[in-house]
Amino acid sequence: MNIRCSFSCRLYIQTLAAIVAFMLWPAACIKAQKVTADSSSFLIGEQVNVNLELTIPIGAQADWPVYKDTLTRFFEIIKTGRLDTVTNASGDLTIKQVLTITSFDTGYHAIPPLTFMVKLAGSQEFEPRESNPLLLEVKGVNVDQNAEIKDIKPIISVPYTFADFLPWILGVLGIVLLAFLIWYYIRRRKSNKPLIKIPSRPPPPAHIIAMEQLEALRKKQLWQKGQLKDYYTSLTDILRAYLQAVYDIPAAEMTSYEILQVLKKLVMDESRINELKRIFELADMVKFARARPLGADNELSFTLALSFVKSTAPATKQPENNAQEVSSASIDHETEKRDEPV
């Protein structure tokens, strides 16, 4: 009971002081600046607009007050509107601004005079101009102390949207992707294969490889050093690898006679078969009969091998420029050597 009486007395004193201050303020201060509210009373926690207005003559300047989050200790500023200027019929300039305020203290509360700094035309200093005070009543909510306490209202059900399921969908997809990557990693490791297969550069055509190998054989000068067996073994190995790549026959596992018979069935030019036959026969004599052919025969075997490769090269796969230059240079070099006396 004492607590209620003390609270009521304090509220009465505050209200009386606010009313007295409002009535004692001289009315002469509201000629050119004023503060009004949309409503003189509102419920606790509700919002109300306070209108600030200042009228100045032509050529005058105004320093507008800036408010942050509170207007007084009883009123909080929710929103600060932008400044709006209007020129009236007499040419005076009226500046307006709207402040949205609220209060959480019940009772009568006064907004004290607001100060506007104005500098008139021809004056060197700003002069203060104060607005009228404003008295507002903040009403409390009537609560029946004897009424039954009501439960909190239930939660309102909201329909589900795709955005609600999106995190779950992304989570499931992430788990599936992670499981696949683990399975793929284990499988590649068991197969001893790289995780990412990088496509390799396709090998050059068979005739390009053969001509490069023949050029490398020529530069070794094996028969000039007396290594005839190594020379003819390398020469026939190059031809066997070329035949196996171009005609898809196991030339490396076939005898010279078997190779020639298969080439005849492929309807190859008879002159080309005879050239190849001469190379293989001379190579067999050197490898198995320890024959020692003349230098001209060695040069001729190389020239015939190079000519055979060039003449039987696939038509759809033209040699590269560098390979053509190497091949032409090799033929010219071998032709010059063959023309020289042995």
Would you say residue 341 has pLDDT above 50? no
Model pTM score: 0.39
Would you say residue 42 has pLDDT above 90? yes
User: Would you tell me how many other CB atoms lie within 10 Å of the CB of residue 252?
Assistant: 11
Residue by residue, DSSP assigns 132-187 as --EEEEEEPPP--TTSPPPPPPPPPP----HHHHHHHHHHHHHHHHHHHHHHHHHH
Residues in Cβ contact with 341 at an 8 Å cutoff, skipping those fewer than 6 apart? none
CA distances from 309 to 302, 321, 322 (A): 11, 16, 16
Question: What whole-number percentage of the chain has pLDDT above 90?
Answer: 25
What's the average model confidence in pLDDT over 119-136?
90
Q: Domains in the chain, please, with CATH? A: 2-139 (2.60.40), 206-339 (no CATH)
**Model confidence pLDDT, tens digit, residues 269-317:** 788 888 888 888 888 888 888 888 888 888 888 888 888 888 888 764 4
The first and second tokens of residue 336, run together, are 């010059």
Are the beta carbons of 318 and 268 closer than 8 angstroms? Answer: no
In the prediction, which pLDDT does 242 show?
Answer: 86
Confidence bin at 74 (pLDDT 50/70/90): very high
In the prediction, which pLDDT does 179 show?
Answer: 94
In the prediction, which pLDDT does 5 show?
Answer: 44
**Model confidence pLDDT, tens digit, residues 222-257:** 888 888 888 888 888 888 888 888 888 888 888 888
Residues in Cβ contact with 269 at an 8 Å cutoff, skipping those fewer than 6 apart? 311
Of 191, 239, 223, 194, nearest to 298 by C-alpha is 223
